[in-house]
Amino acid sequence: MELFILIFAALFSVMNPFGTVPVFVGLTEENSKVERNKIAFWTSLNVLIILVISFFIGKYILLFFGITLNSLKIAGGLIIASSGFALLTGEFSKHKGMKKTRVKVDIKSRSQISLTPLAMPMIAGPGTMSLLITYNQEFDELNSVLIILGAIVLSSISIYLILKSSFYIVKVLGASGINALSRIIGFIVIAIGVEFIISAVVGVFNIA
């Protein structure tokens, strides 16, 4: 149970679906409620597929490029920490590249937004992928793998429920409330990134 809570909390914090709520509202304000629910469903399903692929295929990518686990941890830790810092400073959308003019124009011309930009990179970005690749290397027992898969599924369900309720969340919390919540999550995300880096340094130098 502890592993399940650990994985779910880490995934939820790094993906931070609450940070995606304002973007989702902005992109779907002209859609009907049924259409918004459909977009929320396909976004969460795409996230689920991306996370599962990252978890199972990631180790082969490491082998192909000759990347060690500790190197991945340091790189992933830096990405995760920078994402957390972006949440703290209110620059989450800019950090994800959503503020670029070319990106804005591309998004407006898209008929489907569930895969990009919502599922990737807004929710399932490089930080999330590196997190899962690391977990795959550290937890290889069948029981642990099933627990991690359960956490991935629950995370995807949570994303669906949050995006589905995005207009209600914005109405209740407001922009300031979402911003405050994102800052709290950002602090946790930075701590996760730092922990990754520290554990990698300990592994490299064999510090007891």
Is residue 107 pLDDT above 60, yes or no? no
The CA distance from 132 to 183, in Å, is: 23
Is residue 98 pLDDT above 80, yes or no? no
Question: What pLDDT sits at residue 125?
Answer: 86
pLDDT tens digits for range 166-194 = 999 988 888 788 888 888 888 888 999 89
Question: What pLDDT sits at residue 91?
Answer: 67
Query: In 3D, which of 71, 19, 55 has the Cα closest to residue 133?
Result: 55
> What's the mean per-residue pLDDT of the chain?
85
pLDDT tens digits for range 76-85 = 889 888 888 8
Segment 40-47 shows an average pLDDT of 95
Confidence of residue 109 (pLDDT cuts 50, 70, 90): very low
H helical segments located in 16-141: 17-28, 33-65, 69-88, 92-95, 101-108, 126-138
Instruction: Report pTM.
Output: 0.82
Question: What pLDDT sits at residue 118?
Answer: 87
Is residue 92 pLDDT above 60, yes or no? no
Whether the CA torsion 174, 192, 156, 113 is positive or negative: it is positive
Is residue 20 pLDDT above 80, yes or no? yes
Segment 39-50 shows an average pLDDT of 95
C-alpha distances out from residue 26 to 21, 107, 108, 160, Å: 9, 11, 11, 17
Query: What angle (nearest 5°) sits at the alpha carbon of residue 40, between those of residues 6 and 88?
Result: 50
Question: What pLDDT sits at residue 154?
Answer: 97
